[in-house]
Amino acid sequence: MNLKSVTIRLKKRKGNDMKNRNHTIMILLASLIVYSLFITGCAPEDPPDQEVDFHTFANVDEVVVTHMDLELTLNFAEQVINGRASLHLNNITGTEQVVLDTRDLTIERITLNGGDEETTFTLGDFVDYLGQPLTIDITHATDKVNVYYQTSPDAAALQWLEPEQTAGGRHPFLFTQSQAILARTWMPCQDTPGSRITYNARVEVPEGLMAVMSAENRKEKSPGGVYEFSMPQTIPTYLLALSVGDFEFRHLSDRIGVFAEPEIIEEAAWEFAETDDMMEVAEEMYGAYRWGRYDIMVLPPSFPFGGMENARLTFVTPTIIAGDRSLLSLIAHELAHSWAGNLVTMATWNDFWINEGFTSYMTNRIMEAVYGREYTEMLWHLDYQDLIATIEEMGEDNPDTRLHLDLRGRDPDDGMTSIAYIKGAFFLKMLENNLGRERFDDFLVHYFNTFAFQTMTSEHFLSFFRETVFIDPIREVQADDEGEVDLEKRLKLDEWVYGTGLPDNIPKVHSDEFARVEDQIEAWENGVAAADLDVEDWTTHHWLHFLMNLPEVLSHEQMTELDATFGFTETANSEILNAWLLHAIEHRYEEAYLALEEFLLSQGRRKFLMPLYSKLAETTEGMELAQEIYREARPMYHPISYNSIDEVLNR
């Protein structure tokens, strides 16, 4: 998922203790350890077992779901899904219970194997963020459980949109967002990144609408409103995705295409036409793409993220359709997840950087291969500025500035900051600088090939890296003891992964293009008119650097001059507009307030919403305006967005 340029860290939400997690002896013991940490207020001296996922009730150490068959009927009038989930089991230990994750699901009945034999089950106590454990009685010979259920209208993964909330304004729309632990709100499952499944699905929707999933998709509407899907590669449950609405498909190449509402399909197809170029260079660097097709689904504006890397079908926000292909690093990011995250997956949410740090590093490598080094130097520079700002805000000694986190008792969303994305990317850039690009690329290919369709922890990664680098099976080179010690000291691996703040061997960044921008800012501060500045051929990134480095204090006259010259308030580029609106709020430039209101009412991307609402909330006057806009805007936002904004605006 793309969260680059995050400048405001999500406020931390306190989770309740886990004393009710009593579904199996092993999980109960783990929960009691967590509970004891809460009541004593202390942390363990040693890091917790990195393989333990404290965000699932599932007894995956005893019985594993290997495949799921879904039958889903969508009811737009009631905003619920009626479903049957048939989960195929591998009963490793011969246990007589399987425990699944659920949240806000109504469980109607459960049968075993072929479907005639009903079994008993219990729903445990509700735990904040986690929901309820569903404990199902089975036998050692049970190979399938069939759960009949209904979702809640308030299911956090589902956003049901009225026709007026879509581009066309004629048909309703539904999309899901399963990451981090929201798959359990629309199906019972073992909702942990440490377990992978294949799946088939049969989805019934109102006639005239189209359905797509993170699976093999048809490219045209079904006359009867029934769609069937197959996902032959194994995926973690957070990559399960469904979108239903009035949209069309356009081929971009033999294996890449785009779905979007008819009103924007041509714009989207033009904007993403270079995706195949990105695919080719990614394969040259990191090995074959293993997912068959790579398609893009452009969702309505309320989608809370820039993109979501659902396997075979990336979800993206329409805010990246800028009309000039200037925001395609987001597509490169989601494509890179096809290797980092989707292919080799973090074992638990504590190691979110295993997904996002690798992906962010690979994004810049893909962009460099397609658009050149000067372009990518700007991306690295923007990343660095973002990272420094995040650490300054969080505090250098904050444990959440580590790559390997401890998210016990908290929502996994708390770990989705710039640390995982950008500190992780700079860690890999540091490794590349020390090993050399060719050798590091060889290592990454070896890494993806070795652990394809498997999970990874920080501890395992560091162990594998040391084994591969110091005794290199790729090049059949063995470092001598002196070389090993020297390299280990230079890399500071443990400091990067387990230490707070930033190690002193972080790669330096410089951009000649941004030096040009800074020269123009200095000239403007020294009296050169904005109209006389040399801004020819500036890209989105030049403008972002310009806006991020303007003087802290700007007069109304200066704001007016900049706006009249460069048209910031009227720009269709969402990244530039967001950066400008932050200045408008800070300097009470009321001429941009109508654009601010329209922006907050027209899109639900949390990356933009959180900074803008937070900036407004800094003053009494701004808080009043924010609350006025939010009353109208909140119904169109996804729960992932409005739950964060509620805290900012004290709702």
Q: Is 513 a catalytic residue?
A: no
Give the integer Cα–Cα distance in Å for 651 and 642.
10
Tokens of 215: 């699976």
Check 271, 334, 356, 575 and give the catalytic one: 334
CATH class in words for 56-246: mainly beta
334 as an active site residue: the answer is: yes
Q: Which CATH number fits domain 1-54+270-291+324-510: 1.10.390.10, 1.20.1250.20, 3.30.565.10, 3.40.50.300?
A: 1.10.390.10
Q: How many CA atoms lie within 13 A of 22 on its CB side?
A: 7
Token pair, residue 46, equals 């040693």
pLDDT digit string, tens, across residues 606-640 = 999 999 999 999 999 999 999 999 999 998 888 88
Q: Is the pLDDT of residue 49 over 70?
A: no
- Segments making up each domain of the chain, as ranges: 1-54+270-291+324-510, 56-246, 524-648
Written as six digits, the tokens of 172 are 């309703």
CB 311 within 8 A of CB 196: no
Provide the whole-model pTM: 0.87
Name the burial class of residue 222, with classes exposed (0-12), middle (13-18) and buried (19+) by CB atoms within 10 angstroms of its CB.
middle
| Residue-wise pLDDT tens digits, 443-485 | 999 999 999 999 999 999 999 999 998 755 444 444 555 556 6
Q: Residue 27: is its pLDDT beyond 80?
A: no
Asked if the domains at 1-54+270-291+324-510 and 56-246 fall in one CATH topology, the answer is no
Please give the pLDDT value at position 96.
97
Question: Regarding beta strands 97-102 and 477-478, do their DSSP bridges make them parallel or antiparallel, or are they unpaired?
Answer: unpaired
Q: How far apart are CA 607 and CA 4, in angstroms?
A: 8
Helices (H), 319-473: 329-336, 352-371, 373-394, 418, 424-435, 437-450, 458-470
Q: What is the mean pLDDT of residues 136-145?
A: 96
DSSP state of 11: P
CA atoms within 13 A on the CB side of 438: 2
- Cα-Cα-Cα-Cα torsion 294, 302, 126, 408, nearest 10 degrees, comes to 70
C-alpha 447/C-alpha 373 separation (Å) is 25
Q: Name the pairing type of β-strands 173-176 and 242-245.
A: antiparallel
> pLDDT band at residue 169, thresholds of 50, 70 and 90?
confident
First to last CA, the chain: 27
Give the total residue count for the chain.
651
Average pLDDT over the chain, rounded to an integer: 90
The 10s digit of each residue's pLDDT in 515-547 is: 999 999 999 999 999 999 999 999 999 999 999
What is the pLDDT confidence band of residue 37, given thresholds at 50, 70 and 90? very low
3-state secondary structure at position 99:
strand
Of the pLDDT bands very low, low, confident and very high (cuts 50, 70, 90), residue 574 is very high
The residue-averaged pLDDT of 152-169 equals: 90
| Residue 135 scores a pLDDT above 90 | yes
> Given pLDDT bands bounded at 50, 70 and 90, which one contains residue 592?
very high
pLDDT band at 20 (very low <50, low <70, confident <90, very high): very low
Burial (CB count within 10 angstroms: exposed 0-12, middle 13-18, buried 19+), residue 212: buried
As a whole number of angstroms, the distance between CA 478 and CA 472 comes to: 6
Q: Which residues contact 482 (CB under 8 A, 6 or more apart)?
A: none
Residue range 95-111: mean pLDDT, rounded? 98
Supply the CATH classification number for the domain 524-648. 1.25.40.320
The whole-number pLDDT of residue 17 equals 38
Find residue 117's DSSP bridge partners. 112
> Pick the catalytic residue: 129, 289, 384, 421?
421
